[in-house]
Amino acid sequence: MSLKTTKNSSPLLGLFLTFCLSIFFVGNIFAQSSIGSCSDFAVGTNASWSYVLTATTIADGEASQGAQTFTMNVTSLPEGGANVRVYKTTQSGNAFFGPAVALTSGENSLTVAAVGFDRAVKFQFSNGEVEFDALSVNGEGSACVAPPADVTSSTTGTCGDFAAGPNATWTSVLTAALAADGESSQAAQSFTINITSLPDGGANYRVVKTVPNGNFNNGPATALTLGENTKTVAAVDFNRTVKFQFSSEDIEFDALSVNGVASDCIDAVVADVPGCMDASACNYNADATVDDGSCLSDDCAGECGGSATLDECGVCGGSGPLEGFDCDGNALCAGEVLELNDTYGDGWNGNIVTINGVDYTITDDPSIDDGYTAAFCVPAADCYVISWTMGSYASETSWSFMGV
């Protein structure tokens, strides 16, 4: 598409419009995403905290002990706003939830201080409609936000807005107005070009315009420089032609406008947006243009990408039936059943019951038991010798054997 001339009400307004358009044209444009569409966020476990951004997990080991930070540049908030809070595990393994913090437009950042033990740290968000154009966790940028567009360049010899010049000295011509344009040709006429490369020996431009009697006036040669170059020809009260002649076809530029109209010679190449493109996945990204293999599914607890599975009794995240029992609670033991309980749920803390030389206790290891209960099948015997080893918090413990 060719550049078109427009009439400005004043020369100053023409300059202002040209200058502003030049700035916006060369600026980088960042793609946006939202919490609900970005695959970095998992679905939360309740409606109050509907999305979760994981910074680290206990499985990360020593790395989880370092400071954990997220930074987000918010461009749009839902009506009523949105909040973020910190979830982390403490040294005892218990969960800690920080206070709700209101998100604001612009940059938001939270840092959880370093500790001396392995832990999980997550940032929970109250609304998936929060939009952002930058997101990082521990300094690593999110793939949900495309990098800025790469602006291509053109030259005075290849851009279709330039016509061939009249001679070898002035090889390229950019037309701002023609006398045939009538009243609009009387307005101030401007061009702005952002030069990225000049040929050896440099290059010049000059103004060529018609005067009231129709004759042409050739202005002096002006050296072009790297960066922004602009020229405005003042308004007049007669119809006239205004052109800008250039001395080389090898002038490279990444922005060009005439009378505030940007050139079509410059294209922005937008980078691919990686993400999950499977609409059935829980982390589907509608903005993704390249499938990066990150698609996830809900686990049995409804957590996107979670690891919870059904145990042999069909319980999500369960540890299966208690030892010596089936899924319905029926005893399978050929001997006698020993049941242990802890009211606080942190294991027996060194308390031990010993029967016929075998020690029984409740651990705080979730891979063994839940910290609250444990059941054991004690081999049948004619006589049972029972002893007790005192640990900490014995008042929290209780046990029964042979129904007693």
Residues 6+ apart with CB under 8 A from 291: 274, 275, 276, 277, 278
Parts of the chain with a pLDDT under 70:
1-31, 146-151, 267-271, 322-324, 331, 403-404
Does pTM top 0.95 for this prediction?
no
According to the model, what pLDDT value does residue 17 have?
Answer: 31
According to the model, what pLDDT value does residue 332 have?
Answer: 73
Nearest alpha-carbon partner for 114 in 71, 70, 69, 65: 65
With tokens 């358009």, the residue in question is 21
Nearest alpha-carbon partner for 356 in 336, 376, 333, 379: 379
According to the model, what pLDDT value does residue 376 have?
Answer: 84
With tokens 């010798």, the residue in question is 385
Phi, psi of 136 (to 5 degrees): -145, 150
Tokens of 375: 């059941």
Domains within the chain, CATH numbers bracketed: 33-141 (2.60.120), 154-262 (2.60.120), 271-320 (no CATH), 335-402 (no CATH)
Nearest alpha-carbon partner for 55 in 16, 89, 102: 89
Report the C-alpha gap between 307 and 14 in whole angstroms: 62
According to the model, what pLDDT value does residue 15 have?
Answer: 30
* SS3 state of residue 156: coil
According to the model, what pLDDT value does residue 26 have?
Answer: 35
According to the model, what pLDDT value does residue 149 have?
Answer: 54
377 has which bridge partners?
Answer: 337
Report how far apart, in Å, the C-alpha atoms of 55 and of each of 142, 199, 224 are.
Answer: 12, 51, 51
Report the C-alpha gap between 86 and 92 in whole angstroms: 17
